[in-house]
Amino acid sequence: MASGQTFPPSIEAIEALAQAAVERLPDTFRQFLGNVRLVVEDFPDEEVIRDMGLESPFDILGLYQGHSVAVSVDVSGALPDTVFLYRRPILDEWADGGDSLEALVTHVLVHEVGHHFGLSDDDMDRIEAAAD
């Protein structure tokens, strides 16, 4: 191994950044995330790519799969609510942008957590625009 060689952040490093972002969320939000799994994978699986109509696995940074806390449904036997973060697309976005990796991971995590609370992409775009 060459001296000074650097490697892209690992799945574990992205998980640590995401977990730190969860810990910074206000208690009012964190209390509803206790049963939500946080999973970091290199890419979405083929089913997600197909179902979302993605042209490339790099076209998505994160995904929320589950039921919104705003909707009351019987979910017995359902898979646990899960926030997926996709490491390789996140790293590509990071390399192309001006934000820190921590800021980007936090942004993607908060976006997916927003879906857990029943917010649409349009809702979150409006919130972000108002915050800028």
The pTM for the full model equals 0.86
**pLDDT tens for each residue of 62-99:** 999 998 877 656 556 677 899 999 999 999 999 998 89
- Taken in order of first residue, the domains within the chain and their CATH numbers are 11-71+78-131 (3.30.2010.20)
| 35 vs 45 pLDDT, higher one | 45
**pLDDT tens for each residue of 99-108:** 999 999 999 9
Question: Dihedral through CA 60, CA 66, CA 18, CA 16, nearest 10?
Answer: -110
Q: Which residues have C-beta within 8 Å of that of residue 68, sequence separation ≥ 6?
A: 115, 116, 117, 118
**pLDDT tens for each residue of 1-30:** 455 557 899 999 999 999 999 999 888 888
Cα–Cα dist 41/34, whole Å: 20
User: What pLDDT is attached to residue 29?
Assistant: 83
SS3 per-residue string spanning 61-99: CEEEECCCCCCCCCCCCCCCCEEEEEHHHHHHHHHHCCC
| 52 vs 68 pLDDT, higher one | 52
Cα–Cα dist 98/80, whole Å: 34
44 in Cβ contact with 90 (< 8 Å): no
User: What pLDDT is attached to residue 30?
Assistant: 86
Say which amino acid occupies 122.
D
Task: Answer whether residue 56 shows pLDDT above 90.
Answer: yes
84 in Cβ contact with 47 (< 8 Å): no
Dig out the tokens for 56 from the structure. 């490339």
| 36 vs 28 pLDDT, higher one | 36
Phi/psi of residue 42, nearest 5 degrees: -65, -45
Q: What is the mean pLDDT of residues 32-49?
A: 94
Can you say how many angstroms the Cα of residue 59 is from the centroid of all Cα atoms in its chain? Answer: 13
